[in-house]
Amino acid sequence: MTTEHNQRIESDIMTNADFDDMSQTIEGSRTCMIKFLRSMVECPAIAPESGGNGEWEKAVIIENYLAKFGFDDIEHYDAIDPRVSDGKRPNLIAWIRGKNSDKRLLVVTHIDVVPSGDLDQWETDPFIAVEKKGRIYGRGTEDNGQSLTASIFAAKAFLDMGLKPEYDVGLVLVADEEIGAGKGMEHLVAEGAFRKDDMILVPDHGEPEGRLVEVSEKSLVWVKISTRGEQCHASMPDLGCNAFRSAMRYGLLVDEALHKRFNLEDRLFDRPISTFEPTKKEENIPNINTVPGEDVFYIDCRLLPQYKVDDMLVEMRRIADDVELETGLKIELTCELREDAAPPTPEDAPIVQRVLRAVERVYGNKPYPGGIGGGTCAAILRRAGHHVAVWEKVNNMAHAPNEYSVIDNLVNDCKAFASLYTE
């Protein structure tokens, strides 16, 4: 450990005794946090695409709470949306000013939730919060109510104790995270809400141990493979062209080629390689004695961020051309979904190091920077050139029936955020 590092610890970080006081304050607001999270569940904020009326009503409830808590510096970046009755989707940043305003720490959470899904699978009403066995049940409790509540109450602890965080802390509460982010995160980025050197935490993904600090994501591509031949009787295959045989030939060749060419390993990821999995297969013919004239299947591709999606698609097309030449059948490739990986956030970025220290301080575990196979809205910020860490401690109940938040996670994550604000 360098002298510089030791000095930083002495000068910048709140002493353990002071932090114990802060943890006590946060423990003291346990009941108040539960009440707040309950009110979040009981005001559904669902996107118009999913049949909802947006987030306005819920944002008003949040703002009333913030005013009561003593937050007096709130910026709005609302996005126009004629599909909802208030005509706007709310995006706000609630600030508490720090000892030093040169740098800013931003914590981004989302106000919106997904619909309940099949009600028969819920044991309680998804929009009435129910507390049992140390958990709060309801839609949006874990995604993203837990972190939204915890990030606000961590800042409230500073206000209650008359303390200042190290830097300006902005609680960024966004709309439209579950569907596309056009009226939420993308709108904020376009409006210039973020500065290049902002330290940003997006607590919207995690795991039950709370050790993974996500800094990198793979590209996600779903490719549809449609092969066209000519249908005929199976006893006289020479009269047609078997689309299924051609598709199988392509499937095997492309599987082998992709694994061979994109074979880098990156230990940052839990699954350290790119993955290419043939998954869905559409029905080609209902009976066994007919040669299918058409065939459709899909490949789920998760490409390490070191590779370009375009290079993979060119390779897939090249092999399709070879099989077309060999079999005389047309093969069409289309992307059903394409999310190019954002540039990873370096492990030594200040936000990552600070989050690692804060998590270890509160949970006493050994957190580590890592990558995941899917997409979070941190990608939008990373694409815009920002360093972003993604962390929270969750049981991965997002979007599931009987979604719940563990109350201890709510309270302890709040302490971790408070520790982060002191860094």
Q: What are phi and psi of 112, to 5 degrees?
A: -75, 160
- Beta-sheet pairing, 212-217 with 130-132: unpaired
Closer to Zn ion by CB, 143 or 176: give it.
Answer: 143
Closer to Zn ion by CB, 157 or 202: give it.
Answer: 202
Interface segment toward Zn ion; rule CB under 5 A; list 140-148, 297-305, 342-350, 364-372: 140-148
Interface segment toward Zn ion; rule CB under 5 A; list 90-98, 197-205, 224-232, 292-300: 197-205
- Cα–Cα distance measured from residue 389 to residue 5, given in angstroms and rounded to the nearest whole number: 21
Residues 236-265 interacting with Zn ion (rule: CB under 5 A): none
Interface segment toward Zn ion; rule CB under 5 A; list 30-38, 58-66, 135-143, 145-153: 135-143
The arrangement of strands across the sheet holding 199-201 comes to 74-76, 92-96, 167-174, 100-110, 199-201, 388-389
Interface segment toward Zn ion; rule CB under 5 A; list 201-209, 276-284, 331-339, 363-371: 201-209
Closest approach of Cβ 108 to Zn ion, in Å?
10
Closest approach of Cβ 368 to Zn ion, in Å?
22
To 10 degrees, what angle do helices 16-28 and 146-161 make?
120
- Cα–Cα distance measured from residue 10 to residue 4, given in angstroms and rounded to the nearest whole number: 10
Closer to Zn ion by CB, 319 or 372: give it.
Answer: 372
Interface segment toward Zn ion; rule CB under 5 A; list 142-150, 215-223, 266-274, 341-349: 142-150
14: CB partners within 8 A, 6+ apart: 22, 419, 422
Closest approach of Cβ 204 to Zn ion, in Å?
4
To 10 degrees, what angle do helices 56-69 and 146-161 make?
20
Closest approach of Cβ 143 to Zn ion, in Å?
4
Count of residues in the chain: 423
Closer to Zn ion by CB, 141 or 419: give it.
Answer: 141
Single-letter code of the amino acid located at 184: G
Q: Does 204 bind Zn ion (CB under 5 A)?
A: yes
The secondary structure of residue 120, as a DSSP letter, is: G
Closer to Zn ion by CB, 23 or 144: give it.
Answer: 144
Closer to Zn ion by CB, 78 or 403: give it.
Answer: 403
Query: 3-class SS at 355?
Result: helix
CB atoms within 10 A of CB 318: 11
Mark residues 143-172: x for contact with Zn ion by CB under 5 A, - for none: xx----------------------------
Closest approach of Cβ 109 to Zn ion, in Å?
8
Interface segment toward Zn ion; rule CB under 5 A; list 71-79, 123-131, 137-145, 363-371: 137-145
Closest approach of Cβ 177 to Zn ion, in Å?
6
Q: Where would I find the beta strands (DSSP E) of 27-122?
A: 74-76, 79-80, 88-89, 92-96, 100-110
Closer to Zn ion by CB, 25 or 149: give it.
Answer: 149
Compute how many residues bind Zn ion; rule: CB under 5 A: 3
Closest approach of Cβ 114 to Zn ion, in Å?
9
Closest approach of Cβ 178 to Zn ion, in Å?
7
Closer to Zn ion by CB, 49 or 256: give it.
Answer: 49
- Cα–Cα distance measured from residue 308 to residue 123, given in angstroms and rounded to the nearest whole number: 45
**Residue that the structure tokens 């999913």 belong to:** 50
Closer to Zn ion by CB, 90 or 251: give it.
Answer: 90
**In 3D, which of 420, 422, 391, 388 has the Cα closest to residue 197?**
388
9: CB partners within 8 A, 6+ apart: none
Name 219's bridge partners.
303
Closer to Zn ion by CB, 126 or 293: give it.
Answer: 126
**In 3D, which of 176, 151, 224, 152 has the Cα closest to residue 79?**
176
**In 3D, which of 123, 86, 56, 142 has the Cα closest to residue 403?**
142
Closest approach of Cβ 380 to Zn ion, in Å?
13
Closest approach of Cβ 1 to Zn ion, in Å?
36
Residues 76-95 interacting with Zn ion (rule: CB under 5 A): none
Where b means 16+ CB within 10 Å and e means fewer, 298-308 reads bbbbbbbbebe
Interface segment toward Zn ion; rule CB under 5 A; list 80-88, 200-208, 363-371, 389-397: 200-208
Closest approach of Cβ 237 to Zn ion, in Å?
51
**Residue that the structure tokens 């030939």 belong to:** 249
Closer to Zn ion by CB, 89 or 361: give it.
Answer: 89
Residues within the interface to Zn ion (CB under 5 A): 143-144, 204
